[in-house]
Structure 1
Amino acid sequence: MTVRGPLALAGLSVRAAAQAARRDGLRVLALDLFGDADTCEAAEAWRPLGDPARPQIDGERLLGLLARRRDELAGWWPGSGFEDRADLLEAGSALCPLLGTPAEGWRRLADPRTFFERLDAWGIAHPAVAFERPDTALGWLRKRGGSRGGEHVQPAESAAADEAPAPWYWQRWQDGAPMSMTLLCAAPGRACVLGLNRQWHQPQAGQPFAYGGVLGPVGLPGRAGSLLQGVAERLAAAFDLRGVVGVDFIWDEENAWILEVNPRWPASAGLYAAQGGLVRAHLQACLHGRLPEPAQVAAWRPPRLRGLQLLRRPHAVQLDLATVALWARQSDVHDRPSAAMRLPAGAPLCTVSAEADDETALRRRLDARCAALASTLEIPA
C-alpha cells in the first residue's frame, strides 16, 4: 500500500504510534503535548498541541495545523486526549481524513448511558452500573465517562453524596483479573484479537486506580478465546471501531466483564509487531476494510512475554541534563523527556520495557528497572 504524504498523529503523547509508523517506513508529523526525545526522533517534525502541565489538547491549534497542511497530509490519526472531544474530531475530519474510529463512535463510548445501553442491547456483559448514587456506596466505584488511565476512578464511599453530575456514574466492584484486549477492527463490525494482556494499577495519592503497566500476550483457559473473539466483533459493530483499539475488562475465570473501550492506539499495542507492519495494517483496515490473515497476526505476537510499566515517584523530582543524557542511552527507556525539568509527585516520568518467560519474572524485572532509574533522580528541596 502506497501512502502519499505524512501521517499526522495527534494526542496527549504519540511516541509509541510514531515509532510504529516509522518502523513501517511511513512519514510522521507528531502533534502532542510533550515532544519527548524519542517522539521527535521518530517524526520528521513535531508541533506542540498544548501545555504539558495541563493535560488537554488545544483544539484551535490542532485545527489550525490540519488546515495549513491538509493538502500534503495522507490523513490524521487521533490518540489519547480525544475521549470526550467528539466535536473536535468532527471538525478535524472536515479538514483532513480521519484514520480511525469515526467521531460518532467516540461520542457513544464517552456517554456512559449510551455505552452501557449498547452493551446490554448487544448482549455484552459488564459490571452493574447506576446513574444515581447507590444507597449503600460500599462495593461501588465512581467513574467518569470519556476519561482515561484510571485516574478518575474512586471508591464510591469516598465521593461526596451530592457529587456526580453527568457524565459521572457508579459501577459495582467486580472481582477478577484486570485485563485488556488489543484489537484490529474494520467495518462492518469485524475484528481480530492481536492479543490478551494483563494490566495493573499504580496507586497514587487520591488516585487508587491509576494505570501502572501492561504485559502480554497471555493465554486464558477453555472457551475464553472464542468468547472474547465474539465480544470483540460485537463491540466493533456496536461502536463502529476502526483500526488498532483497546478494550479493558475483568476476567473472573468464566466471563469477560467489559469496563471500557479505547477507540485509539492503546499502550498494549506496544507489545506487538516489533518487526513492523501494524500501522500499515491499521491503515488497510481504516481505508479499505481489510484485516490481516491469521498467520500474520500470529507472527506479530512476541515469542516471550513483553511488559511496559510507567515510572512514577510519590514526590516531586528534578530531572537534570545528566539524567536526560543517561536515559537516552537506554534502549528499554521510552517517553524520554527531551530537556531537564521538574516533575510533580505522581506524574509519569517515562516508560520502561522488559521481556521474560513468565509473568512473575517479568514483573520483577520491570520493578527492578524502575527502581534503578529512580535512583538517578534528584528530590527537590
Structure 2
Amino acid sequence: MRLAIVSQSARIYAQLARREGFEVLAIDAFADIDTVQAAHQTWQLPALAGRLTAEDAHILFEKLDAWQPEVLIIGSGFEADIACYQNLHQRYALAGNAPSVLEQVKNPYWLNSYCEAHGVLTPTVRSQAPQQGQWLYKLAGQSGGAHVSDWDESLIVSPEGYWQAFQPGLAVGALFVANQRSVTLLGVHALKQRQGDYTYAGATRLHDARLTAAMQKTLEALVPDAGLVGINSLDTIWHDGQLHVLEINPRLSASMRLYAELPLIQAHLAGTQGAVSPALQANTQYASHCILYARQAIETEDMNFPNWLEDRPDGGSVTAGQPLCSLYAQGDSTNEVQQVLQDKKTQLEKLWGTYVCERIEFNIH
C-alpha cells in the first residue's frame, strides 16, 4: 500500500510504516537522515514547522498528487490550520479524524465543558486575563507546548490566546487508539519539557497500576462520545491520585516512539476504518526518548552523529531553540534506562567536546 505521511517530523511514523510493509512518502519540516533512510521518498517542507501559506499548500498538494497515495496520515502541524486539513481530507483518503472533530477537540472551551459534562477533572479556562492566582497562557489549536507560557501581564496577547488555571502535579500523557466507540490504552508516560518552558522534550514510559487504571477510566469517559478515531494522545496532570485533563491531541503522536514494537500504523488504519485491530500487547519494559535542543546556533556540517542517535540532521545549521536530534533507551528498570541515557550523553560529550555540548540541552532526566 502506498502511504503518504505529512507531519512536522515524520521520522517515527515512516520507520513504523516501513517496518509494517508500507511504501512510504514522508513529507516533513526536517528531512533528517533517519527519515530519508526509512521512507521510499522524502520531501522537506520547512513551513510545516510553522503554518503553511497558500503557496506551500499548493506545492504540498502537487507532491501528494504525484505520489498518488492510497492512504494519507497526518501528524502534528495542522491543528491551527483547519482549512488546509479540510482540503487534505476532501482531496485524499485521509486516515484520521474528521475536520469537525479536530476543530472541536482543539477548542479549549468545548473541551472544558465536555470534560465537566463527563465527570472528568480539568483546569478552568477563560477568555479574559485573570486578576489573581497562577495561570498559564496558551494559544488555541497549537501543539508541542512552545505556545504555553506562565502568565504575567507583560505578555502580548493574541486573538487565539486563552488562559488555563495552573494545575500542579506530574505531566502525564496517554497514547490510545479509538475504534468506533471503543478505546484501547496503548501506554502511559511522563512528559518531559524543556528547561524553563513547556516545549515537548520527550517522554518516559510509566508502569504505575493506579495511574494506568485512572487513565483507562478517563479515556472510557471521554473517548466514546468525542468522535475520535485511530491513534490519538491525551495530555494530563497526575496529582494526589487524580487526573486533570489538559488537552486532547487528535492525531499521531511523537510518543509513539515508546511503543514502536507494536503494529501502530496498522492499528491506526484499523481504528479509522472501524476494522478489527491487530493484537496490541503492552510492553513491560521501561523506555525513554529525549529530544536534544540547541541552546545556541550550532553548525552540524562537521559534527559526527553516531547511528544510535535518532532524528540526525543532514548537515546545515540548527538555530537556537530548535531540535538537534534525539536519544532513546529502554531497559528493565527506570535506573537502567537513566544509566543508558547518561552513558550516551557522556559519549557525545567526548565526541563533540565541551564547547559544543554546552550549547545543547539534553533533557535526559
With normalisation by structure 2, the TM-score equals 0.89
In the TM superposition, 1:54-65 aligns within 5 A as 55-57=50-52, 58-65=56-63
Give the residue type in structure 1 aligned to 2:273: L
Change (3 A) 1:51 1:87: closer
Gaps of 5+ in 2: 360-365
CA distance, structure 2, for counterparts of residue 9 and residue 195 of structure 1: 23
Structure 1 equivalent of residue 172 of structure 2: 179
Per-residue deviation, 1:239: 3.1
Q: CA RMSD in A?
A: 2.3
In the TM superposition, 1:157-306 aligns within 5 A as 157=152, 159-160=154-155, 163-187=156-180, 189-203=181-195, 208-221=197-210, 224-274=211-261, 276-292=262-278, 296-298=279-281, 301-306=282-287
Change (3 A) 1:101 1:157: same
Q: Alignment partner for residue 28 of structure 2, among 32, 46, 68?
A: 32
| Worse overlay, 151-160 or 16-25 | 151-160
Q: Alignment partner for residue 141 of structure 1, among 136, 141, 146?
A: 136
CA distance, structure 2, for counterparts of residue 364 and residue 143 of structure 1: 35
Q: Alignment partner for residue 318 of structure 2, among 343, 357, 361?
A: 343
CA distance, structure 1, for counterparts of residue 313 and residue 185 of structure 2: 32
Structure 2 equivalent of residue 152 of structure 1: 147
Give the residue type in structure 1 aligned to 2:175: T
Per-residue deviation, 1:183: 0.3
Per-residue deviation, 1:364: 4.6
In the TM superposition, 1:325-344 aligns within 5 A as 326-327=304-305, 329-331=306-308, 333-338=309-314, 340-344=315-319
What do the CA deviations read for 1:30-78 (whole angstroms, capped 9, x no partner)?
11121111111111111222347x6334322222233344xx4211001
Change (3 A) 1:367 1:264: farther
Maintained 8 Å contact 2:14/2:26: yes
CA distance, structure 2, for counterparts of residue 284 and residue 22 of structure 1: 17
User: Tell me, what secondary structure is at the counterpart of 1:108?
Assistant: helix
Maintained 8 Å contact 2:207/2:284: no
Structure 2 equivalent of residue 7 of structure 1: 3
Maintained 8 Å contact 2:108/2:125: no
Determine if the alignment matches structure 1 residue 107 to structure 2 residue 96. Answer: no
CA distance, structure 2, for counterparts of residue 260 and residue 156 of structure 1: 18
Per-residue deviation, 1:131: 1.5
Determine if the alignment matches structure 1 residue 376 to structure 2 residue 352. Answer: yes
In the TM superposition, 1:314-325 aligns within 5 A as 314-321=295-302, 323=303
Per-residue deviation, 1:308: 0.2
Gaps of 5+ in 1: none
CA distance, structure 2, for counterparts of residue 164 and residue 123 of structure 1: 31
Change (3 A) 1:195 1:368: same
Per-residue deviation, 1:230: 2.9
Maintained 8 Å contact 2:215/2:243: yes
What do the CA deviations read for 1:279-301 (whole angstroms, capped 9, x no partner)?
11211111234344xxx322xx3
CA distance, structure 2, for counterparts of residue 212 and residue 273 of structure 1: 18
Per-residue deviation, 1:266: 1.1
| Worse overlay, 24-33 or 232-241 | 232-241
Per-residue deviation, 1:116: 1.7
CA distance, structure 2, for counterparts of residue 125 and residue 308 of structure 1: 28
Change (3 A) 1:368 1:356: same
Maintained 8 Å contact 1:235/1:241: no
Maintained 8 Å contact 1:179/1:196: yes
Q: Alignment partner for residue 311 of structure 1, among 292, 311, 314?
A: 292
User: Tell me, what secondary structure is at the counterpart of 2:224?
Assistant: helix
Per-residue deviation, 1:368: 4.5
Give the residue type in structure 2 aligned to 1:240: G
CA distance, structure 2, for counterparts of residue 62 and residue 116 of structure 1: 34
User: Tell me, what secondary structure is at the counterpart of 2:142?
Assistant: coil
CA distance, structure 1, for counterparts of residue 291 and residue 346 of structure 2: 11
With normalisation by structure 1, the TM-score equals 0.85
Per-residue deviation, 1:233: 3.0
CA distance, structure 2, for counterparts of residue 195 and residue 37 of structure 1: 28
Change (3 A) 1:22 1:174: same
User: Tell me, what secondary structure is at the counterpart of 1:77?
Assistant: strand
User: Tell me, what secondary structure is at the counterpart of 1:169?
Assistant: strand
